[in-house]
Amino acid sequence: MSFDLDLVLRPGTAHIEARFSVGSGLTALFGPSGVGKSSVLNAVAGLLRPTSGHIRVGEDVLFDSAARISLKPERRACGYVFQDSRLFPHRSVRDNLLYGFRRAPAARRWMALEEAADFLGIAHLLARMPRTLSGGEMQRVAIGRALLSGPRFLLMDEPLSSLDEDRRGDIMAVIERIRDDLALPILYVSHDRREVDRLADHVVTLDRHAG
């Protein structure tokens, strides 16, 4: 089992429910705009507190309302990759990559900067500033920053949607290698059925709930 979620979320006036328990690999969260996919990712990251339920990833209980457990975001060991790369504009690629690495407890780090740079094909970009990168390069750096924070799992919120067709294919290949070679559980939000068909081991469709 990788992700085991049973959640009720009430951001603003919205009512979101998600219940699923899935095995290893990449799990796609699929569903119409506004159904609550990003909110579920934020709840797993510890940025949005559920009104009830539980969140377990592997052996770790991140949240359990009945047991009054709610780990702080920095203790959840999750790497988060967004649609827009959200790199720090005033830091070099190297410093963006090292940002999470420096904050992660030494025992949690499992990848070195050079290893991540080689894995992602960005070793030649380390001295560059984010504004000089293409969209695909920025997303590789954002993925590298997430991997270097010592994550036990990844959250990806439409990581391909700002890229053109060719770059989408390149980054999908990177995500496949993270899934297969690094064997990290991934919870992945997408609108795109083709993307889901190619990448997902499990597909969870979120449904609307009346408030």
Ligand X SMILES: Nc1ncnc2c1ncn2[C@@H]1O[C@H](COP(=O)(O)OP(=O)(O)OP(=O)(O)O)[C@@H](O)[C@H]1O
Binding pattern to ligand X, positions 27-56, x when CB under 6 A?
----x-xxxxxxx-----------------
- Figure out which of the listed residues 8, 11, 152, 201 binds ligand X, where binding follows CB under 6 A: 11
Residue type, 73: P
From candidates 14, 61, 104, 126, binder to ligand X by CB under 6 A = 14
Which residue among 12, 66, 89, 107 contacts ligand X (CB under 6 A)? 12
- Between 36 and 53, whose beta carbon lies closer to ligand X? 36
Rounded least distance, CB 38 to ligand X, Å: 3
Q: By 3-state DSSP, what share of the chain in percent is helix, strand and coil, each rounded to 5? A: 35, 25, 40
Binding flag, residue 85, ligand X (CB under 6 A): no
What six digits make up the tokens of 8?
């009720």
Residue whose CB is less far from ligand X, 137 or 158: 158
Q: Which is nearer to ligand X, 18 or 133 (CB)?
A: 18
Distances in Å between the alpha carbon of 140 and those of 50, 76, 132, 181, 191? 31, 22, 14, 16, 21
In the complex, the smallest distance separating the C-beta of residue 147 from ligand X, rounded to whole angstroms, is 23
> Taking CB positions, which residue lies at the least distance from ligand X?
12
Classify burial at 140, counting beta carbons within 10 Å of its beta carbon; exposed 0-12, middle 13-18, buried 19 or more. Answer: buried
DSSP state letters, 128-160:
S-GGGS-HHHHHHHHHHHHHHT--SEEEEESTT
Closest C-alpha among 188, 82, 174 to residue 120: 174
Identify which range of 26-34, 49-57, 74-82, 90-98 contacts ligand X by CB under 6 A: 26-34
Shortest Cβ 43–ligand X spacing (Å): 9
- Separation of alpha carbons 52 and 9, rounded Å: 8
The residue among 36 and 130 lying less far from ligand X, judged by its C-beta, is 36
Burial of 145 (0-12, 13-18, 19+ CB in 10 A): buried
Q: Please, what is the minimum distance in Å from the beta carbon of residue 35 to ligand X?
A: 4
C-alpha radius of gyration, the chain, whole number: 17
| Residues 6+ away with beta carbon under 8 Å from 210 | 15
Number of residues that bind ligand X (CB under 6 A): 11
Enumerate binding residues for ligand X (CB under 6 A).
Answer: 11-12, 14, 31, 33-39
